[in-house]
Structure 1
Amino acid sequence: MSSILTNNGAMVALQTLKSVNKNLAATQNAISTGKDVATAKDNSAVWAISKVMESDVNGFNAIKDSLALGESTVAVARNASETVTDLLTQMKNKIVAAQEDNVDRGKINDDVTALRDQIASVVGAAQFNGLNLVDGSAGTASILSSLDRDSAGNVTSSSISVASQDLSTGGYASKGVLAGSDNATTDNDAAGFTMDKSGGSGDIVIDSSTDNFAVGDKVSITIGDKVASYTVQASDLDPSGTYDSAYTDAIVAVGLKNQIDALGITGVAIDYDSSAPGTLSFVTGTAAAGADADRDVTVSAQFTNAGSGGLGALSSIDVSTSAGAVAALGTIETLIDTAIDASAAFGSAQGRIETQKEFISNLTDSFKSGIGSLVDADMEETSARLQALQVQQQLATQSLSIANQAPQSILSLFR
């Protein structure tokens, strides 16, 4: 049946043309963007997965920067420890030469001292962005190495821990011990405090292995703008060979007091406690202290342990005598082993970081490929589809035109 009111053929042709145009628009959009899934309305599930993976890729890019920073830090530490190993080896050569009697041990000892100073300089300068892994101050460095996502979507971070190595030649930083007593605001104040080298609450740690003073230990006290210090000598130890605080501590106290007096500073009394080895007591600004009793006295103090630090034994090396040269030979071997162990530890850590950095780079590439396989358009297939849709569009347009002309054939029935 033909009707001039309802043209079913035109309606079918029109719907076909609309469908072809819609597919053609989607294909052209895929060609222009390069993606089959460009927005969430294209395929919400695939789009959501791709966005999660893209966020992980961005996170891994940040991790690569963290690993690069960590690698550089460890590389500096490794180079420093290897340099220290070389310098200790040079020092060993000097010490071996000092074993011979027919040599100038004094000049050899000067060379040994210069090498020791150079080692201290290398260790002090071996920092990257403020982090020094060889002077014993850093503890363990944590380097961000990965982001791990579980099946539930929870994300946790992973890190590579790099233990610092102590290649310092000794000494701790100064530490205020007066608490509320320094910078007193009233004249004639009496401020007393105790320095205890064994460590504890409010104390200064100088040597965790012993409470006794040792040769090379240094006690410094700053009063106003003047500094007095005393270094423990071998002659300060008890001649009997057994440490006696009543003997050595007294000598240290007197020696430091003499240095203070030599600076023209009055009003500082120093005492020791024979029952507490390695402990000195200070009193400042006492009523009978003379000139200093009429002004405020600000005091700071520190212990410097010549034997602290991983290479602290360097301070005891003295090849100026035959006995010293023999003792130094055994000491230097231990120190070289310490430096070699530090170099090996840093080398292992640097290798692990390099491996992780390469893995993260490859993982990032894999993620990018995975994202591409989900959302990128297959350009060969899309090109072929475009050609087919263009032909379909032309045919649908022609079909619609023919369907629209069909009612005109009814006119011939009325002629």
Structure 2
Amino acid sequence: MTSILTNTSAMAALSTLRGINSDLADTQDRVSSGYKVAKASDNVAYWSISTTMNSDNKAINAAQDALGVGAAKVDTAYSAIDSAIDVVDEIKAKLVTASESSTDKEQIQLEITKLQEQLSAVSQAASFSGENWTVAGADASNAVVVDGFIRNSDGTVKVTTAEFAIASYAMFGSISATGVGTGGILGDVMTIALTSTMTQGQIDSYLATVESALSSLTDAGAALGALTTRIDMQDDYASTLSDAIETGVSRLVDADMEEESAKLSALQTQQQLAVQSLSIANSSSQNILQLFQN
């Protein structure tokens, strides 16, 4: 039966066209945005996971930036320690020279004094971002470097750190207002003062002081070297971890562009056919007029 009031064929064609247009709009959104899960309504579980992991990834990247700052501080302190070792080696050589009885010990002391001043200058200049790891200062707390960000199994988060014991490895305990270092690893080295009447026993005592300082400087350099290795390894790991998280999130929420482009072409064809079908269904009512014209 054909009715001029209700066109069931047109209704079916229109319903089909609406469904195709809805699918086409969704596919176009995926193609334009690159996401198959762009909002919570697309997939609640995947959207929740991706939101959390993207947030964690930003924190990891921030920790990686902090690692760069920490690495600069370590490198600055290590450069000072390395330079100090060279200077102390020179003082050691001067003391060995002074062991020769015919040498002018007071002239040698003039050179040693300049080397001592150099030690103070090296330590005083070893500052990065307001921190100087070569001077213990009044508050000799450990230096802390942020080296990571982790999420525990219970959902809580934690920032991990690496520490450097400034009190144990500082070149000086403090720097006076006149720029002279005192205390610390090199405090005793700064007290070396040769005179023309100095005995070999006293020089040997100074040599023992220098050897002790060199040993302590070597330990400090080793500690900084170990910290540098840890920071470098953590930096590499943070980069790898960040890439892994991005890849994992991508698998959850990114659209397959090959699949979506193929689906888009198919839906566009279906849309054209549905429009044509609706046009045919609407024309059937007009054909009834021919019955009355005859």
Structure 2-normalised TM-score? Answer: 0.88
State the 1:100 CA deviation. 1.3
Residues 396 and 318 (structure 1 numbering): CA distance in 2 closer, same or farther, change over 3 Å? same
Residues 115-143 of structure 1 show CA distances to partners (whole Å, capped at 9, x for unaligned) of: 11211221122111111111123421111
> How much has 1:333 moved relative to structure 2?
1.0
Secondary structure, counterpart of 1:5 in structure 2: coil
Which one has a bigger Cα radius of gyration? Answer: 1
What's 1:166 paired with?
170
1:401: which partner in 2? 279
- Write the distance in 2 (CA, Å) between the matches of 1:354 and 1:408: 80
Does the alignment pair 1:359 with 2:237? yes
Deviates more, 1:21-30 or 1:363-372: 363-372
Kindly state the Cα deviation for residue 12 of structure 1 after the two structures are TM-superposed. Answer: 1.4
SS in 2 for 1:26: helix
Question: SS of the counterpart of 2:146?
Answer: strand
- The change in CA–CA distance for 1:171 and 1:374 in structure 2 (over 3 A counts) is closer
Aligned counterparts, 1:6-405, within 5 A: 6-137=6-137, 138-164=140-166, 165-168=169-172, 308-320=183-195, 321=198, 322-405=200-283
RMSD: 2.3
Runs (5+) with no aligned partner, structure 2: none
Give the match's secondary structure for 2:247.
helix
Shift of 1:323: 2.9
Structure 1 residues 129, 171: CA separation in 2 closer, same or farther (over 3 Å shift)?
closer
> CA offset at residue 409 of structure 1?
4.6
Which structure has greater strand proportion?
A: 1
Residue 188 of structure 2 aligns to a residue whose secondary structure is: helix
C-alpha contact (below 8 Å) 1:318/1:325 kept by paired residues: no
Greater Cα offset, 325-334 or 3-12: 3-12
Number of the residue aligned with 1:202: none
Counting matched residue pairs gives 284
Shift of 1:75: 0.6
Change (3 A) 1:84 1:381: same
- String of CA shifts for 1:330-376, please: whole Å, max 9, x gaps: 22111110111111111111121122122212222222222222222
Could you list the runs of 4 or more consecutive aligned residues of structure 1 that deviate by over 6 angstroms after TM superposition? none
Report the Cα distance in structure 1 between the residues aligned to 2:189 and 2:15, rounded to whole angstroms. 93
1:59 CA drift (Å): 1.5
Structure 1: runs of 5+ lacking an equivalent = 175-303
**What SS is found at the alignment partner of 2:39?**
coil
CA–CA separation in structure 2 for the residues paired with 1:343 and 1:29:
57
CA distance in 1, matches of 2:273, 2:108: 101
Question: Bigger relative contact order, structure 1 or 2, given CA contacts below 8 A and separation 6+?
Answer: 2
Q: How far did residue 4 of structure 1 move?
A: 3.3
C-alpha separation between the residues in 2 aligned to 1:384 and 1:325?
Answer: 88
2:120/2:181 contact within 8 Å kept: no
CA distance in 1, matches of 2:181, 2:20: 87
What is the alpha-carbon distance in structure 2 between the residues aligned to residue 145 and residue 316 of structure 1? 39
What SS does structure 2 have at the residue aligned with 1:132?
coil
Q: How many Å apart are 1:38 and its aligned residue? A: 2.0
Read off the aligned partner of 2:135 and give its amino acid letter. Answer: D
> Amino acid of the residue matched to residue 399 of structure 1?
S
**CA distance in 2 between partners of 1:405 and 1:41 (Å):** 39
> Higher helix share goes to which structure?
2
SS at match of 2:6: coil
Q: Distance in 2 between matches of 1:9 and 1:387?
A: 26
How far apart are residue 8 of structure 1 and its match? 2.1
Using structure 1 for the length normalisation, give the TM-score.
0.64
Deviations 1:179-219 (CA, angstroms, capped at 9, x unpaired): xxxxxxxxxxxxxxxxxxxxxxxxxxxxxxxxxxxxxxxxx
